[in-house]
Structure formats: structure tokens, C-alpha cells
Structure 1
Amino acid sequence: MNHTFGQVLTMAMAVVGGLGIFMLGMKYMSEGMQAVAGNSLRRMISMVTENRLLATGTGTTVTLLVQSSTISTVIMVGLVNAGLMKLHQAVGFIMGANIGTTITGWVLILQIGRYGLPILGVAALVYIFCKRDRLRFIAMAIMGLGMIFFGLELMKEGVEPLREMEQVRELIQRLAVDNYAGILLCIALGCLLTFIVQSSSAALAILIAAAATGLVPFPIAAAFILGENIGTTITVLIATLGANRNAKRAAYAHVLFNVIGVSWMLLAFPFFVLGVAGAVEWVHGVDPMTMDIADFENPAQYGLVITAAIAVMHTSFNITNTLLFLPFVRSFARLLERVVPEPRAKEVAHLKHLDAKTVDAPGLALEQSRGEVVQMGRGTVKMMDWIRQLAFNGPMDEQMVQKTMHREEVLDNIETEIVAFVTDVLDANLPHSVAEEGRVQLRMAHEYESISDALASVLKCFLKLRELKLELSAAHLRELRDLHDEVATFLGKVTDAYDHRKVFSHREAETISSDITRQVKDSRERYLQLMTDSQIDARLSMTYTTLLTNYRRIKEHTLNAHEAMAGTKAHHRD
């Protein structure tokens, strides 16, 4: 009894230790590959086009580099939540992410498990002693690869003794997939395993470790793979709690895509598995459906064949499912719009609910927070439009006044969230260029929040004039309106430049800023002269000069935002 307990404990330690090293290796490889890919990866995910094939290709590439469909899909949900990706684009991206996550199985076919430790050691030495950023992160990716194979080897060694236990063999025999009840049970177990380890790649590694030792036959492994495709959607679904309707639709797209795919696969399962087995037999000369590890002189050869069969099954299922869905991407998006209808009340985008997962992919996480900064800019531009309508184009609409004030509160909250989010991201191991992007976002979020405060103050000045029943002359109103338009144009130009990553020249920005400053000074001097020549209500004078000061503040913060994205030092002019 003690011997059995000790054996079980040894196996558990090997499996848990191997799984931990494997998952840490996935993390290091992902971070290294993201850092090496750099800005091109973030640009790629932000430039998903209307073309469904390109969206699918982007999803595949991003997931390949992030090494997790869960992380890439959560980031995609965040971009949809921020309004930077349309729903039908997200659907195409999700399909690609499901293909990208199958790469793990193909990597494990390399069968270099025994070399995992020396690969890890050499790469770790390069990572520690090398001073160049790019080489260090390449070494980190290779170090992660070594950890993946070393961890898989440990898991295989831990699982191997289970094959000799009678109780375990009987349990595996009960999981026969010769009927739909057995297939459904295996799918459920695969789903549960993926949800527990929170990674479809880690669940696949456990499955391959068990299959490579002869413990789990190929047909059962094939059914487990289907369950893993469903299990990986649960985390994304949880991530949308508190998200807006489009983010929920994107998450439901991920769930439905996989559930519908597994549903049709249930009907075709026997034929599909036989087809995969036939393809593997054609390449390796062995039928994975009937082979036994005892028939192999070299157990590693058995492991190679069954790992190849699992990889082919995983990839062929996801590619087939994607090909079936591709013609119906827009129809699928419209269906999701009916399933999750428009809300009665206006929603506010947040990113708190995505902190935990997106920080695992810091390079791409900054693309999401960048989207939130863009939305802050768009929010201030909208406030400028609403204030123009309220102050210069007609009577004060109470509903629009409340909407403008509410927008200022929303921008305050989003800035707080961006600061917390980006600070978490900057705690990760990042190359200099990515860290600098994070610092730029912090500066710009602060400037946009300050602009919203100044705009709220502008609106309060106009409300005060109405409350005191004071009116500015037509000439002064015209001057304020022209000033408002100049500042709004400058703000829109800076925001558009940041959104499209096309910074205009610092000289042009300084010229616009100087023109607005001169306009404010001229208006103030003319008003002071008017005060000298005639009697004007002191409250009216105070409010008018406060308006001019606020417009100048907005201009200064807009110039600071431009300098932040242009990489120049901000001027604290206020």
C-alpha cells in the first residue's frame, strides 16, 4: 500500500512539475516571440481588414506568436469592446485563432524531448549575459521552447507507470468511443481538463504525454481534442462579464463556432477519424487506430506516430470548421446581433474585466489600451461638438448637457483604468520600444482626461451665463465660436494622427498652437479695452475670461498629447 502511494506521489510530482515547466515555457516562448515581432504584430492585429481571409490569417498568425487562442481571443474581445474591430472582422479573427492554436501539436512532433534541458540551459545563459534586447528575447523564446520539451518529457515519465496499473487500464477501456455516449463523455472530460488548466495548449500537452506512453489510444484522444476546443471558450466567455454588447457578441461567436463545429463533428466522427488515421498511415506506414506500443521496438516511434495523428486531427478539424463557416461570416455576425440586441441604455466601454489575461501578452495588451486612449480622444472630440451645439447653435438641451457631463465622468473612469492596466503591463519583461509605447499611452490618457475637465468647465461657464441671465454680444460669441472651432480642429487632427499612426510635424503643431494662443490674447485684449471704454457686468467679464482660459488649456493639453505621441518632451505650460 505504501509502495503504491509512493509511486502515485512520484507520478503526480512528475506530471505537475512537468506541466508547470511546460506552461512556463509557453509563457517565455510567447513573450520572446512577441518582443521579437515587436510593433509589426500590434499593427497587424489593429489592421484587420474587411477581407474575411485576411482576418482569418491574422488570427492564425497572432495566435501562433502568442501561443494561446484564449489570450488572442480575449485581446480581440477587448478591441471589439473598444470599438476598434467590427463584429464580422472579429468572427474571421476567431476562426484563425482556432487554427493557430493547433500549431502546438506540430511543434511537439519534433521529438526533441531529451534535448529540452540543454536547449533550455544554453538559451538561459545567452538570455542572462547578453546585453542586446533583440538577442535576449530570441534567447527567451528558445529557452521557452526548451522548457516545453523538457516539461513534456517529465509528464511522459510521470504518466508512463499508469499503463501498468490494472484499474487505470479498466477506466480507459470504459472511455471507448464506439458509441455517441462514449464520445460525449470524452468530449466532456476534454472540456473539463482545458477549463481546469486554463490553456488548450497545456491540455493538449497532457493528452499527448498520456497518448505517447500508450495510455490513451488515438480514437479517445481525438474525442478529447473536440472537448478542448469547447473548453478554451469558457475563459473568453468569463472575460466578457461587464463588457459591452459587441464584446459579448464576439465571445458568443467563439463559443458558437466551436460548439457548432463539435456538433457536426459528432455526426461525422467515425468517418473523420478514419480519414485522419488513413493520412497518418500513408505517411508513417502504421495505422494509429489499431497500433499498440508493445509492437514497437522503439517506444519513441510510437509516440511520434500518435502525436502526428493528434496534430493532424486537431488541425484538420479546425481548418474544416473554418472553411465551412467562412462563406457565412457576415450572416453569422447578423445572427449574433439578434441574439444580443441593442441595449436600451447607452453603454460605457471598460477594460478592467480583461486585465488578467491580456497582461499575459503585454505587447498585444498595449494595442488594446491604445484603442481605449483613441476612444478617449474621440470622446473629447464629441464633447467639443456637443458644446458647440449647446453654446452657439440654439437653446440649451438639458439631455445633451447631462450627456456631456456624463462623458466627462466616463473619461475620468477610463483614464483611471488605463493607468492601472498599463502599469500592470509595464511590470512585465518588455523591450524598450514596447515599454515606451506604454509610457506614451499614460501621458496621452492624462492629457485627454485634462481636456475633458476643461471642456466641462467651458460648459459650466455657458450654463452660468444662462443662470445669471447674462448674454455675450454677437461679436464676442462669434469670436468664441471661431476659437472653439480652431481648438476642435486641432484636437481632431491630433486624435486622427494617433489613431492612424501618422504623426504630423512638430513645427505644424507648434504653428497651430501659436495661432490659437494669439487668437486668445487678441480676444482678451479687445475685451479688456471694451471694459475700459464701457461698463460691463463683472460676472460677465469673469465668465468670458474664464472661457478664454479654458480654451487655451484645451489647446495646451492637445499640444502635449501631440508631443507625447511624437516622442518629444511635454511642455507643462499651465
Structure 2
Amino acid sequence: MNENVKVVFGLIGGLALFLYGMNSMSDALQKAAGEKMKKILEFLTKNPIMGALAGALVTAVLQSSSATTVMVIGFVSAGLMSLPQAISVIFGANIGTTMTAQLMAFKISDYIYPLIFIGFMLNFLGKKEKVKNIGMVIFSFGLLFEGIEIMGSVMKPLAGSPIFVDLMGKVSSVPVLGVVLGAVMTLVVQSSSATIAVLQSFASQAGPDGVSSVIGLTGAIPILLGDNIGTTITALLASIGQSKDAKRTAIAHSFFNITGTCVFIWIIPWFAQFIRYISPKGNEIDVISRQIANAHTTFNVVCTLVWLPLIPIMVKIVTTIIRGEDKNTGVVYEPKYLDNKVIDQPVAAMYLVSQELENLAGFAVHMLNSLKGSLNQKKTSAAYEKFKNQLDIVQHLQEEITDYITKLFSSGNLTELQSEQTAGLLYVTNNIERIADRCQDIDSIWMKIQDDGMSFSEEAGKEIENCIDVLLSLLRQAMTAVKQGSEEEAELVFKNKKKLHKAEKKFNKAHLNRVKNQKCDPAMTGYFSGILYNLDRAADNCVSIAEEALDNQGYVKLGEAARNFATPSAVVEAV
């Protein structure tokens, strides 16, 4: 096989192994971290310093600043995070992504295969999920380094190529070329960690003198700076079609790296001298991998320290670039919080599901209120149209949430505990949808009453309204029980359900007395009892929701960001 073809195949094969190892390690780390990921994400709602710390920790787990940025953009677009909070997290993400380069700088080539074997055995033989996840982390870590070793070995012929050495010389003397090269590489691979790993492997190859690096630290730094710019493209793409604040968050990510690069590109010789001073001493080819990692970390830490107190200025800059506010399009049929780009981050995705479930419950409350107002109204009335509109929204949102949860399960990233929690959220969602079905059955009964030219007596109408009020109270109490994990609220639901059942029997008897006294049409008996029966069944669904609280199932909350359950005011006004 041609030598050049071998080099190309080795590079793409090693890169594929590296990316697979990094992605597998990210998935396994998330599963191993489990509930700790939730605690890390809680920092997102606090001050900028805590936000930056959270961004760094989350990115260290996800092994990708792009993944963190996409998640943050989803939160901002859903209105769950403010623009200043998001920007602070983005700053931290830039620091967190440097941890991969620091890991790559370790010389563990003699231990790669033992690591792969130990990781495989733990994952293969482990009985507990946590042990299996830890095994996958170790196994993936070994694969990641094996990919680096493969790329390093096939790059040795390049290091001796006069053409390639001349090209690297031009990059060293014209830093802008290095920046462009780094940005393009990251844009193609979609991972700054991967391109920096390639850079570390190549820089570790000896030049013609056999001692110095083929590219040197001053030649590597511009490419590294370009890598930081290239990684922001993913965030910009993720912001397409999102809210204006989401677009501003993506632009802030780009602006952060571009401004840093514009400053550091002028001080590369002094910057390289500082990095050599703080890095281990020795032959350049032996220490340059660590030097590149330190340069990457130092660049992002310095930029973060400079920009962190200047977040208000960054906000003004990005709001000047993206002007105006998002338009209110009226009735909200589509999910407000769900974001498919966050599916691969289970804790964040479950949090968004919880928020969307709260949104759904708010619509369900409003639907029941509209049902009460539409009874004894003609099907052409505004009140009836409002009820039908609410019913359609609840049913549509339930389908969207169910579809999202299905994708979350099929991603394969959920731990056993997360699977149980998500199944609980799905169960609550389905019960809200069944309440909507009961309302639809009541609507069908009302249509038959109108078609027969009949109507309820004033007493019957008040009794039905009374039952709907009890049902509204049950739904609110059930959702509060689930959100807060409150057994007390759940017990209230069980107690008040019995009251509704007694009221149903009482009102049916009252109706029969009215029929006996010729105050109600006997033909209305089946209709009246049918409506009360459906309300009683809807109350059973509220009981089923409350039972989830007793099974320790509930919303996935991230500190202060989880809002109190209430009908969303914006939704009420819109509909």
C-alpha cells in the first residue's frame, strides 16, 4: 500500500477510535455521575462565578464544550436561564474543555492495554450498574489513548517530509495561517478536543534535528487558538431557529474566543515563553504535549477571568448584534421547553421534560376552567371555542412530551434510577391526557344534549360546576404532590377524591328527585349521570398522579430554577 495512503488511513482510523472513546467515556461518565450531575447543574441558577464553575464541571463530564453550549442554548431558548447566567456557563465550559488536553498530555502508552482490559472486565462482569459504568469509563479512556497512539505513529513519516516541514514553518512564521488551519480542522471534525489531540500528537514528533518538535510551541499555539474559534460553530448552528437570547448566547461564545485570539496572537512569543516556564522541563518533543495543554488551559482561564466581571458589557454587545425581542405568536401549540439537541444529556433533558409537564398541567387546569364556562353554552359560542382550543393543546402537548420521553429512553443514556424517574413522568403525562379524554367525552355528551334541543336545569348546572371545581382542586393538589414529593398533598388528593365520589351519588339522587317533582326532563338522566361519571373517572386519574409522589417519583429540579406549579400567566393570556 502507498505510504501516503497508510498515513491517511492511520489518521482517520486513529481519529475515529479517539472520537468513539471520548463519546463513550462521556456517556459512561454521565451515567456514573448520576444524581451528582443534577447537583452540578444546580449551580447554573446561582451567581456568575458558580455558573462558570458549573460550566467547567459539566464540560469535564461531557468531554465537550459544544455539548455544554448546546444544552445551555436549549435552557435559554426555553426561558429557564437568563442570558447573563448562560454566558457565565459558556465561559466555564471553555475551561472545562481543556481537561481533555491535560489528560492527553500524560504518557501512559505502556498502560493502555491493561486499562482497556480492566475496563472491559469491569463492564463485562460487573453486576451493579455503577460498576459497569465505571468499567466503561476506563475502557473508553484506554481506547481514546489508543487512538492517540495510532495517530502519533502514522505521523512520524510526515515529520520527516521536507514539504510538510516547510508548511509548518510557514504556519509558525505567519500565525494567522495557523489560526485558520485550526478553525477549519475543528469545523470539519466538530470537536476541538480531537483536533488538539491531533496537534499534541503531531507536535510530539521530532523535526530534522531529532530533538526539537517538528512544529514547536510557537507554531502550535496559533493552531490551538484556531481550534477554540472553530468549536463555536457548533453552538452557532444549534442556535438556528431558537430564541433571540439563544442566538446571543451562541454569539457570546464566538465573541469570547475570537477576542481572546485577537489579543493572544500578538503576544505568542511571550505567551510561549511563559508556558515553557510553568511547564515541565526536558527535551521539547517530550514535554510539548503538556505545554500545549497548559497553553490551552491558560488561554481559557485568562479570558474567563477578564470577561467574568465584564458580563454586562458582553450582554450589551450581543444584544446590539441581535436586536429586538421575540415575537409572541399567540396560541402556544408547540412545546415550550423540549429541545431534541439536549437528548444526549439525560439530567438536562429530564429537567426540560419536568418543565414541559408543568406547562401541560397549567393548560389542563385552564382546560377544566374553560369546560366549566362552556357548559350550557352553544357550540358556536366563544366560551365553547376556548374550551376546544385548550383541549387540542393538552392533547397535542401530551403527544409531544411522550415522543420526547421515548427518544430519551431510546438514546440508551439513562441509568436505572433515571429510567424509573422518566417512566414516572410519562405516567403523569398520560394521566393528564386521560383527564383531557374525559373532558372530550363530556363534550360529546353535551353535543348530544344540544342536538336533542335540551339543556340542564339551573340546579343541575351548578352541581356539575361544583364537581369540576373539586376536580380542579384535585389536579392542583396532585401536581403539587408530584412536584414536591409531598405525601401530605397526596393524602389530601385521596381524601378529597372520596368527597367527589360522595357528591356524585348525592347529585344523582338530587336529579332523580327533580325528575320526580317534574323539575327536570327524565331524558336528561343518562346525560347528567354520564357527565358526573366522567368527572369521577378524571378524579381517579388525579389519584394515579398523586400515587407517583408516594413512589418517590417527581419533577427533576435544578435548585431555584424549578418554578412553582401554576397556570402559566403568559399561556392564559395567549389562549
Query: Matches of residues 97-112 of structure 1 in structure 2 within 5 Å?
Result: 97-112=93-108
What CA distance in whole angstroms lies between the structure 2 residues aligned with 1:347 and 1:21?
44
Aligned to 2:563: none
What CA distance in whole angstroms lies between the structure 1 residues aligned with 2:195 and 2:324?
31
Structure 1 residue 114 corresponds to structure 2 residue 99:
no
Q: Check the 8 A contact 2:90/2:253 in 1, yes or no.
A: no
Give the AA of the match of 2:231. Answer: T
Unpaired runs of 5+ in structure 2? 206-212, 554-575
Aligned to 1:440: 424
**1:49 to partner: Cα distance:** 2.0
Task: Give the counterpart of 1:148 among 138, 144, 147.
Answer: 144
Structure 1 residue 200 corresponds to structure 2 residue 192:
yes
Structure 1 residue 209 corresponds to structure 2 residue 196:
no
**1:315 to partner: Cα distance:** 4.1
**1:506 to partner: Cα distance:** 4.7
**1:257 to partner: Cα distance:** 1.3
What CA distance in whole angstroms lies between the structure 2 residues aligned with 1:464 and 1:92?
59
Q: Check the 8 A contact 1:49/1:55 in 2, yes or no.
A: yes
Aligned to 2:251: 256
Structure 1 residue 93 corresponds to structure 2 residue 89:
yes
Aligned to 2:546: 562
* Partner SS state of residue 508, structure 2: helix
Q: Which digits, 9 at most, give the CA deviation of each residue in 1:34-81, with x for residues without a partner?
A: 122212313543673253333332222222212122222323333444
Q: 1:521 to 1:327 in 2, by over 3 A?
A: same
Aligned to 1:134: 130
Give the AA of the match of 2:407. Answer: F
Task: Give the counterpart of 1:65 among 61, 68, 80.
Answer: 61
Aligned to 2:323: 338
After alignment, is 33-42 or 466-475 more displaced? 466-475
What CA distance in whole angstroms lies between the structure 2 residues aligned with 1:154 and 1:210?
11
Q: Check the 8 A contact 1:241/1:353 in 2, yes or no.
A: no
What CA distance in whole angstroms lies between the structure 1 residues aligned with 2:440 and 2:71?
32
Give the AA of the match of 1:417. Answer: D
What CA distance in whole angstroms lies between the structure 2 residues aligned with 1:221 and 1:298?
12
Query: Matches of residues 378-527 of structure 1 in structure 2 within 5 Å?
Result: 378-390=362-374, 396-397=382-383, 400-401=386-387, 403-425=389-411, 428=412, 430-458=414-442, 470-500=454-484, 502=486, 504=488, 506-527=490-511
Aligned to 1:292: none
Q: 1:405 to 1:509 in 2, by over 3 A?
A: closer
Number of residues of Structure 1 aligned to a counterpart in Structure 2: 544
What CA distance in whole angstroms lies between the structure 1 residues aligned with 2:215 and 2:89?
33
Give the AA of the match of 1:342. Answer: K
Q: Check the 8 A contact 1:52/1:329 in 2, yes or no.
A: no
Give the AA of the match of 2:28. Answer: G
Q: Check the 8 A contact 1:82/1:371 in 2, yes or no.
A: no
Give the AA of the match of 2:460. Answer: H
Q: Check the 8 A contact 2:59/2:65 in 1, yes or no.
A: yes
**1:118 to partner: Cα distance:** 1.5
**1:535 to partner: Cα distance:** 5.7
Q: Check the 8 A contact 1:404/1:456 in 2, yes or no.
A: no
Q: 1:120 to 1:298 in 2, by over 3 A?
A: farther
What CA distance in whole angstroms lies between the structure 2 residues aligned with 1:498 and 1:199?
40
Q: Which digits, 9 at most, give the CA deviation of each residue in 1:92-141, with x for residues without a partner?
A: 33333233222212222333233222212112112211212222222222
What CA distance in whole angstroms lies between the structure 2 residues aligned with 1:465 and 1:334?
56
Q: 1:341 to 1:83 in 2, by over 3 A?
A: closer
Q: 1:228 to 1:169 in 2, by over 3 A?
A: same
Q: Which digits, 9 at most, give the CA deviation of each residue in 1:421-449, with x for residues without a partner?
A: 23313xx1543212212222322222222
What CA distance in whole angstroms lies between the structure 1 residues aligned with 2:480 and 2:318?
28
What CA distance in whole angstroms lies between the structure 2 residues aligned with 1:148 and 1:492?
50
* Partner SS state of residue 475, structure 2: helix
Q: 1:417 to 1:170 in 2, by over 3 A?
A: same
Structure 1 residue 313 corresponds to structure 2 residue 299:
yes
Q: Scaled by the length of structure 1, what TM-score is found?
A: 0.83
* C-alpha RMSD of the superposition: 3.5
Give the AA of the match of 1:309. Answer: A
Q: Which digits, 9 at most, give the CA deviation of each residue in 1:461-515, with x for residues without a partner?
A: 5677677765433433333333222222221233234345556465443223222
Q: Check the 8 A contact 1:199/1:232 in 2, yes or no.
A: yes
Give the AA of the match of 1:172. Answer: M
Q: 1:264 to 1:231 in 2, by over 3 A?
A: closer
Q: Check the 8 A contact 1:506/1:563 in 2, yes or no.
A: yes
Q: 1:500 to 1:233 in 2, by over 3 A?
A: farther
Structure 1 residue 528 corresponds to structure 2 residue 528:
no
Aligned to 2:209: none
Q: 1:350 to 1:516 in 2, by over 3 A?
A: same
Aligned to 1:229: 228
After alignment, is 557-566 or 74-83 more displaced? 74-83
What CA distance in whole angstroms lies between the structure 1 residues aligned with 2:173 and 2:99?
25
Q: Which digits, 9 at most, give the CA deviation of each residue in 1:135-183, with x for residues without a partner?
A: 22222222222222222222222223211112222222333464xxx52
Q: Scaled by the length of structure 2, what TM-score is found?
A: 0.82
Task: Give the counterpart of 1:551 among 535, 557, 560.
Answer: 535
Structure 1 residue 77 corresponds to structure 2 residue 73:
yes
What CA distance in whole angstroms lies between the structure 2 residues aligned with 1:50 and 1:283?
33
* Partner SS state of residue 175, structure 1: helix
Q: 1:275 to 1:516 in 2, by over 3 A?
A: farther
Q: Check the 8 A contact 2:457/2:520 in 1, yes or no.
A: no
Give the AA of the match of 1:438. Answer: T
Unpaired runs of 5+ in structure 1? 287-295, 570-574
* Partner SS state of residue 520, structure 2: coil
What CA distance in whole angstroms lies between the structure 2 residues aligned with 1:538 and 1:43?
61
What CA distance in whole angstroms lies between the structure 2 residues aligned with 1:218 and 1:399?
70
Give the AA of the match of 1:207. Answer: L
Q: 1:108 to 1:530 in 2, by over 3 A?
A: same
Q: Which digits, 9 at most, give the CA deviation of each residue in 1:263-319, with x for residues without a partner?
A: 423542245534532432322376xxxxxxxxx6573234333443334334434x2
What CA distance in whole angstroms lies between the structure 2 residues aligned with 1:141 and 1:429?
13
